[in-house]
Structure 1
Amino acid sequence: MKETGSTDVYTNLDDFLSASLAKNDVIGSWGFGSRLDFTKMGREETNVWFFEQVFNFLRAFFGLVMPDSLEIITYNAKKQVNRDNLDQMTFLDELMLVLKNLDQPIWVVRLNLSIVGFIRTDWAPDRPMRVRIQEPASFIIWGGPDESGFQTFSISYKLFSSQVIEGEGIALWSMNQPLLEKGLRKWERQSGRKIEVVKGNSNDLPLYSYGFSKPVPSTPAVKTKAPPKEDFIPDLSDLKF
């Protein structure tokens, strides 16, 4: 990991996953390589490509994620651009303006996201609410003359875990997992790439190509055995001869 100004630059996915775990953020990540030769692309073409990847991702996950903050690092970390408090309605226009003013090719784009998902509350546990949730989630793109391009979407496991709220984890999984799978599949169609890298920063994460598998309850219910029914068949001692 490199440092530039106040921003940490993660040079690859493993670097990012390790840094997230150090913050006690357990996350899953899905991504694919872009297989581009950036040495044959000029600055403008490279930066337009980055814009297109952000556009494709947000279109695929429309209604499921919202942009919060943006970090852009140019090649060899020569320049950085940070934007906070992003407005979903104007974000792409703002991003295009930033790219037009860059005089260097982009190396890394990181878009920090909030999730539109389901939670349960103490005051209404029987009515799950779909709200904007501030859980760790990011879309990161790497590219540059010494890379072939890679992009990944990462999200916290909390909304899918059996430990989210005691006794409610599987119910939350059943509502949030279909949203995640829908977004990942649309991202594949939108980008024309298949998800080929699925990773997490915890060995016991139940990951698969389109999300998190159904969690196992942390405390399985104990089944009580019913008392044996009387069969009304008399014993020999009950018979009179």
Structure 2
Amino acid sequence: MKKITIAIDGFSSTGKSTMAKQLAEKLEYIYVDSGAMYRAVTLYAMQQKLISKNKFEKQKLISALDKINLEFKFNSRLGYGEIYLNNVNVESEIRSLVVSNFVSKIAEVSEVRKKLVKQQQLIGANKGVVMDGRDIGTVVFPDAELKFFITASANIRAKRRFDELTKKGDKVSFEEIFKNVKDRDYIDSTREDSPLIKASDAIEIDNSNLSLEEQFDKIYKITLEKIKSINS
């Protein structure tokens, strides 16, 4: 049976990664969280003191890109690959609000995007991949056989993120989470290089009022129909 490439794009905190992981596991496809790659580069920039609230030494980051090695290593207990930055597992560190506050600025840098897009295309060269992000269906895999664009209201997305972080024990306020969501929406949608836009052939799904189970059932059904049509 022919395998396909599935691109899942959309706004932050829409549950893209959770859905993509589930879909990849169900189909026995490779799952790639492209956002984790940008977060890992962001973490590197923070570790090297290249970015903070008051500064961003973009040229120094560009010069250091060759020193950044990113890998996904499969965790059999979790059932998906975790991101490693220079041989160190940073899966938990990159999910912090501090990283979230800077990741869109890092993702604006064309040289960063060029490096990561090249890696993403190599990973998905043989099909059988589910990849989520901001520009997967428009830039990374414009010829993907199936594309989804996920959205939800900013208020609901902020509430989901707030619940996720407080459950982990992070001390955050709903107001700062909401601001982060709105700021990232603006930066992601207005950047010059590969802005967040819905591909013309993407299926849009607003999951504001859908449970995780309802959303997955809907997407899985569409996916099976697409795979069937390609193999018929």
User: Same fold judged by TM-score > 0.5?
Assistant: no
TM-score, normalization: structure 1?
0.28
Choose between structure 1 and 2: higher helix proportion. Answer: 2
**Higher relative contact order (CA closer than 8 Å, sequence separation 6+):** 2
Q: Which has the higher strand share?
A: 1
Q: How does the TM-score come out when normalised to structure 2?
A: 0.29
- Which has the higher Rg, Structure 1 or Structure 2? 1
